Amino acid sequence: MNRPAPPPTDDELHAWIDGQLAAERHGAVEEAIARDPAVAAKIAAWHTQRDALRRLHGELLDEPVPATLMSALERHQPRQAQRVSWMRWGGMAAGVLVAFAAGWLGNAQWSASGRGMQLAKAPAVREFVHDASIAHVVYAPEKRHPVEVAASEQQHLVQWLSKRLDRPLKVPDLSTQGYTLVGGRLLPGESGARAQFMFENTAGERVTLYIGTLDANAADADAARETAFRFASEGPVPSFYWVDQGFGYALAGKLPRELLLKLATLAYRDLS
């Protein structure tokens, strides 16, 4: 008889956030995030802490190693030893930055190894879609407080979020597929505020539309400028997402791919 998979440890949750989790544990960890609100809340809190850490002197991560150090490595060490030394140097630099930032944050729960800082080099689009999936898992199961502003105040909601995101927003009409607006909320993001609109059908199934500016670095510049419409299934819930002139949209939900595509297409047409 197959034994149930053990619950994820904090180390495994950190590894999942950082994209370092062993492949054979992905399914169990993502199932735990989707099933257990406490685990989902912990993940959301760590994402918020990670974003705060990355905004604090994050530019240091992109600074090149001083030329004098690289020259010394090239002169005195074989190629493999250079690689090992470089990895150690990078780990020390990231560890110093994390230690400083953790002290500044006070009670932040962060791994001293500095592995969270590896995400600073992950593609901006992938980060955005992943955050959209996490935000859905955290707020969609809520019964009493799924949103900050209810659909009954839709005009205020749109004006408020438009002001905070510094971009005119609108709520797409998904009613032809049976989904109506529940409301929305403001969320933190890598490069500023993000917005989440939540929709629900008569069966209580919910989808969320996650919106925000992408902080594109040099490696992500082409992707951020491109208008994309793609499917993502790597997170705890799948989503369809697109990017238009550096602004991202992700529609996420625990739905069959075909239905999620129909809803995303409606949103895309309304918002394009």
pLDDT band at 235 (very low <50, low <70, confident <90, very high): confident
Q: Which residue has the tokens 């999936």?
A: 133
Quick one: CA dihedral 10, 14, 17, 21, positive or negative? negative
pLDDT of residue 90 exceeding 60, the answer is no
Helix (H, G, I), strand (E, B) or coil at 264: helix
DSSP state of 107: S
Average pLDDT value for the chain = 75
List the structure tokens of 209: 């539309």
Give all strands (DSSP E) within 63-152, no chain letters: 149-150
Give tens-digit pLDDT for 12-21. Answer: 887 777 777 8
* Highest mean pLDDT of the ranges 65-79, 149-163, 208-222: 149-163
Give tens-digit pLDDT for 63-73. Answer: 556 666 566 65
Give the mean pLDDT of 54-78.
57
Rounded CA gap, 155 and 158, in Å? 5
Rounded CA gap, 254 and 151, in Å? 22
Between 41-45, 72-76, 115-119, the lowest mean confidence (pLDDT) is in 115-119
Helix (H, G, I), strand (E, B) or coil at 166: coil
Cβ neighbours of residue 253 closer than 8 Å, sequence gap 6 or more: 136, 140, 205, 206, 207, 208, 237, 238, 239, 260, 263
Helix (H, G, I), strand (E, B) or coil at 35: helix
Q: Which of 80, 75, 115 is nearest to 95 (CA)?
A: 115
Cβ neighbours of residue 42 closer than 8 Å, sequence gap 6 or more: 13
Amino acid letter at 232? A
Give the mean pLDDT of 213-218.
64
Spell out the domains of the chain, with CATH numbers in brackets: 1-121 (no CATH), 122-271 (3.30.200.100)
